[in-house]
Structure 1
Amino acid sequence: MTNSGQVADAVMGNWVDRNAPARWRPYLRLSRADRPAGTWLLLIPCWWGLAMAAGIDGLRLFDLWIAVACAAGAFLMRGAGCTWNDLTDRDFDAAVARTRSRPLPSGQVTPKQAAVWMVVQTAIAGAILLTLGGTAILLGLAALIPVAVYPFAKRFTWWPQVFLGIAFNWGILLAWAAHGTPLGWGTLALYASGLVWTLFYDTIYAHQDTEDDALIGVKSTARLFGAASPLWLVAFLILSSGLMAVAALLALTGAALAAGLLAAAAFAAHMVWQMTRLDIDDPHTCLTLFRSNRDAGLVAALFLAGAALV
């Protein structure tokens, strides 16, 4: 941590450290506003679900609001979820080199201040959720369960990334329902695709901390797979892109189906590119590749948007 309070793995020159008012910086750091990759990874599945649903029965004017609401909701709920995560993990974070500079273990905020900040973010996100219709509201409330459980998963399972995937891809279901198209097998296949994608990118991310995690007893797929991680990542790559193709086959027809299949192919190609550069023993490379999954998801979103427009 620098004298300014910058977090060790924050994006250099980020807007929080550069431009945000000093008194707000610790709270924005709690929300990971200085590390936006996670917000993108929460938002992109929402856009996938919205675009594929629109590919079934056409775009509607309300879809513009859904897209904007998902963006605001992703920022707020990622912030609330990360604040909750940091509250539950503050002792672990203090023992890990990469995370001890976060606001709670470094003393920039107190646990009480963090808890209030979490409630504020959740309340604003809840107000946005109320605009999206009954089914979406129920799904949004249900999403609080995996969000609450995830920080504890690393204590009792080697697969905490599964719990992260359940939470981070819930937006597929929510945005699909908000559009007004009934949930179906195509929805579930797309949700499964996103969940496996989370296993892919978060295993890469977790390889930054394997040594510290082993010392403090934190479990992860990175520790579980060890040197075999590249083989597992290839399997996740094939399964995630394959499930996206299955979702397109189940949900779309005609030109929209072609766009959906291209989305799966482009998505797979980006993950293949990541694998050609992967070095699980280099934390910097792991962080860079993790962040690049924003582009993998946006490439797929772009083609799925095409499915909604044709």
Structure 2
Amino acid sequence: MQSSSELFPVALLSAELRGDLSEDVYRLKPGNSPDFSVELAVTRLGLAEQAQARGVPVILLHGSFSNRRFWYSPACMGLAPYLVRAGFDVWVAEMRGHGLSPRNLAYRHNCVADYARYDLPMIAAFVAELNPAPAHWLGHSLGGLTLAAALGGGYLPQAGVAGVGLFGAEVSRRYWALKMPPIEWLARLILKRFPVLSGAWLKRGPEDEPVGIALETLRWHRLFGRFGDAQGDWLKGLSTVAVPVLAVAGEGDVQCPPNACRALLEQFTSADRQFVNLGRANGFAQDYDHVQMLVSKQAQDEVWPLVRRWLEGERQSAPHRTDEPGAAVVPASS
């Protein structure tokens, strides 16, 4: 690979203009995990006429069954272009085997532990090489959990993190059936028959997921399970995280309900923690679901500006009720 980094081999796959934006797609080959075939695609978006003028970096992580297109469409519509036009230096990462990241040799065994331990630190190092300012990280669903794992496990250095935004991310819901060992064993036996989970067949999204993700989730939720791996308890590790944290939930999200999203946020001990519940009762136009919270016309009008203000350091600036638990924008400790 032609290298554009002094850290590890990096190839510039493309450098295109997309209307008023520039799009540079890099493929990283860190070589730091047991599977040396891993390559990661990272897209940098900027303003076409200001190639050298870069603001504060923001790194976006997609959720399960997804890719970079969750954050911006081929027509350059989405939260990522919105943040670029607001002056941020936006990076969109794609996990192993998703989007422009090719499937590695051990693809079926990929899991959050690998993303958190090996991939996110290398993405952070590459971004810092080109923009040394501390970066904001925003993760949706599984992307948010990966961020929590990387921070709770101590894999992502806090010194380089300006703030973390978790959108529809939770790990505290109780799946009581999985607490019964025979059911958990049967689920594991069935899952092991499949190398991947098809996003199209499950009607969950455009990408497949490696079965390793599902098996890892079973470990988290089984009897005496925990959000972690053999090396540590990531949930407990969040008590050492001091960076600003924003948690966003959707009142209409049945996959990751607001109380569960807030429970994850409360594991952090950061002095600057905020919880946003997107629902009509809190002054929003609708009860947002798992995807609508970031990908919808209403999100463009209501949620994107809220995210921008938080990134810019404004707190409790949204004109919504804040006088009750679960209100639109409240300190997590209230």
Same fold (TM over 0.5): no
Q: TM-score, normalised by structure 2?
A: 0.29
Structure scoring higher RCO (CA < 8 A, sep ≥ 6) equals: 1
Q: Is the strand fraction higher in 1 or 2?
A: 2
